[in-house]
Structure 1
């Protein structure tokens, strides 16, 4: 029987994980050759899994004000008109029905502006807050265009024939991203938007068994979500060909460069068999726009690519209540114990700087009967997936994480973020606290500050003032009476731009390499199947 502390219920150590070992094995809708758009049957069990209220984030009560943030668009389609509703976007009816199953009340700012750009086949470099609907902004129009082509007989999916020995998957969409957790999350969204369509999504990432992922690929792979190292491995082994890719998407491009993936990205985009004709559409999403990202954009995107930014550069949402409290290192365990008791039980994400601290704090809180779990770079992939699943499902509603979890995670109802160890990088700080207040929902962020964090004090104080948050007494001396805040003008290409993601973090879990080795050449085997299909 589970024990309790305060209103928290201790995690049951005997919880048996479900039968799916890897996230890459999760069920997707399996389209059969005999199906048509009108005759494809529903799958009630899968539909419940994909679209139940527990599996998605609904827009919160403050969505209206959240949706009024500034938008900057540069170049791209002349006379661009943002959509007002998804009904106006010209989406395929099956994809539109999946959007409605997600119960999206209305498009977010990035969705309103990105959908018409992408539906007109322009390349795009975009910047927006994570939690702003960025994933749907590129998945929905991409899937819709492909599905429409397939239903019209203008494009074909390729499947392995029974008994066929030599076979390569030839995905139509390639999504490259930096971390395993983000890859799994994008795959989850792709499962939803491809429901009852002929498109089959697959995710591949390091740390999990490649045999299992190969089996999924060989069942059919139309949308491939991949981390760079595992993608390189699968291509060199002749399991995947990129020759038919119609849409290539680089998500969290700045983070991939931070993690040293630039050589692999360049080989994928320039030296592999990736289609390089005018028919391919390329999309880049980045939290910051430093010169190296701008250089990549000019190299990979067409000359008339569109630039889109939603939200002010370096800003954070006012929906997060930020509490900064002074806590010496030796007081942290007692303080977090009391902090957790002071707030009603809810999904709580605790950030620490080191793997050792993550393990120690997990043991401390678990022994105090709190329902905790933890993830960091030394945990094997199965442990990390089980911990995240337990957190999302509420079995362990307190998750302790190093920076490995700080970017991209979009988890329903995270009400409280605690910076047990406060990063001295302001971008990392605002990205971490941005794990709460998703899609217009309110949230709370509590940060433990002490003399180790003095380098952060000036920018942290400025951020608190800008967001109309209380500045504690120990930070009052850092208030600049002449402070000015950045404008909403689009970045200057010749300048060194600041971050433009309200939730940006550049840190990584030390010691976590995840296949980040220099490239040693790309597989040159040719794909089997027809040549590229144009839009």
Structure 2
């Protein structure tokens, strides 16, 4: 039976501390999603668990709420003294910021101090925060290792470890760092509680779990044969000529009901070029890619979350950790390199019970990539139709007004990218 949020238990009914329940309620969060309903009671009891859930299924509070509850008031965890009691390891800076913000919000009525540690920012601020006293640390592997080896990060009192998006960390080559951090954590006086969350479970992740976790309980928020993509996401796939993709994209962005939108590009250069071009066409654009400073990336992400810009152009690595529930459209300007990248990209829409639309533009040099994605995920779209920016089928499939053109107004500056002189059209 599908999980219904309306009939799901509340956080209070699962035994979560009133202080945390109140903080969540102030943010409009009262009832649990499926992964939370399954994970929270187990985690509150101190059990190790492995949670398999896609992006947008609510896993941050699935581990974050019991983590905060136990750190706040569990007899097995030593009283707070300014040395970390919990460590959350995530693959990217953006996800670190998002998870840190969510935990800080949920802990607002408790004395728990949460800090976020990641590269691309000065050491001094992070060292100072650790020196002032921290109870929960959220961070990326590289910077966590650096601060631990320098003696600035104390791990001797950590009682809870969380690995979030473990498969992404494996793909990014972080497995040795994770093993090193894990081995630095104490196993006594109380046993270390570890929670591992991942969209997929490749062999090395399962090996890590078997060797380092204590009889973990496996939980999934969906059946084993569930589709890899959200049923609430309408997937529109068609072949598009490389020289026509920007014209197509400009029209898709005028679809009826379009709200926050993420456009994915495969390379940093393409992401920058697409953002600038759409800005010249009058769209409200933010950009996030690896050639930008961390500060500029955070400005763009914050503007997107606040709604100051409603379109974000991003590369795959830069977009990890974008946790915004009300993204209505995802546009794959370039076809992803592999099936799981496709799943992660389109998982940014159709989240938390909402509907969404994922549009994939398959270039004529990308047909083999699309065939591999289609076959692996069983999408039934082996031969996408060929549409142009003037094709009536495009307008019909995406509810684009018939009068839509390649521009919506005067050129606008792109948030996160240097200004560029307007081009003649």
TM-score normalised by L of structure 1: 0.67
Q: Which moved more, 1:355-364 or 1:278-287?
A: 278-287
Q: CA deviation at 1:136?
A: 0.2
Structure 1 residue 144: Cα displacement: 1.1
Which residue is 2:391 aligned to?
none
Counterpart CA distance in 2 for 1:384 and 1:301 is 35
Q: Which residue of 2 aligns with 1:208?
A: 121
Partner residue of 1:293?
A: 205
* Kept in 2: contact 1:424–1:453 (CA 8 A): no
Q: CA deviation at 1:379?
A: 1.0
Deviation at 1:470, TM superposition (A): 12
Write out per-residue CA displacement over residues 381-417 of structure 1, whole angstroms, 9 at most, x where no aligned residue.
0011011011111112111000123433211421111
- Looking at structure 2, the residues matched to 289 and 465 of structure 1 have their Cα atoms a distance apart, in angstroms, of 21
Structure-1 separation of matches of 2:248 and 2:346: 19
Instruction: Pick the aligned partner of 2:219 from 279, 288, 308.
Output: 308
Query: Is structure 2 residue 192 aligned with structure 1 residue 280?
Result: yes
Counterpart-to-counterpart distance in 1, 2:197 and 2:77: 29
Aligned ranges 1:229-244 → 2 under 5 Å: 229-244=142-157
Q: C-alpha offsets along residues 448-468 of structure 1, whole Å, 9 cap, x if unaligned?
A: 0133232222642785757xx
2:9–2:31 CA contact under 8 A, matched in 1: yes
CA RMSD of aligned residues (A): 2.5
Structure-1 separation of matches of 2:30 and 2:159: 30
Residue 510 of structure 1 aligns with which residue?
A: none
The equivalent of 2:397 in structure 1 is none
In the TM superposition, structure 1's runs of 4+ consecutive aligned residues that sit over 6 Å from their partners are none
Does residue 347 of structure 1 match 2:272?
Answer: no
Match of 1:78 in 2: none
Q: Which residue of 2 aligns with 1:173?
A: 86
Aligned to 1:399: 312
Q: Could you tell me the TM-score, scaled by structure 2's length?
A: 0.84
Structure 1 residues 60-119: Cα deviation after superposition (integer angstroms, max 9, x where no partner):
xxxx95549xxxxxxxxxxxxx98332221221111212322322521111111111111
Is residue 2:66 matched to residue 1:138? no
Q: Deviation per CA, 1:279-336, whole angstroms, max 9, x where unpaired?
A: 210111112111111110012201x211112224552112111111221111111111
CA change 1:199–1:450 in 2 (3 A) is same
Residue 239 of structure 1 and its aligned partner are, at CA, apart by: 1.2
**Structure 2 spans left out of the alignment, 5+ residues:** 388-425
Q: Which moved more, 1:425-434 or 1:102-111?
A: 102-111
Contiguous gaps of at least 5 residues in structure 1: 1-63, 69-81, 160-169, 476-535
Partner of 1:488: none
Task: Answer 1 or 2: higher relative contact order, Cα 8 Å, separation at least 6.
Answer: 1
Equivalences for residues 511-530 of structure 1 within 5 A: none
Question: How many equivalent pairs are there?
Answer: 382
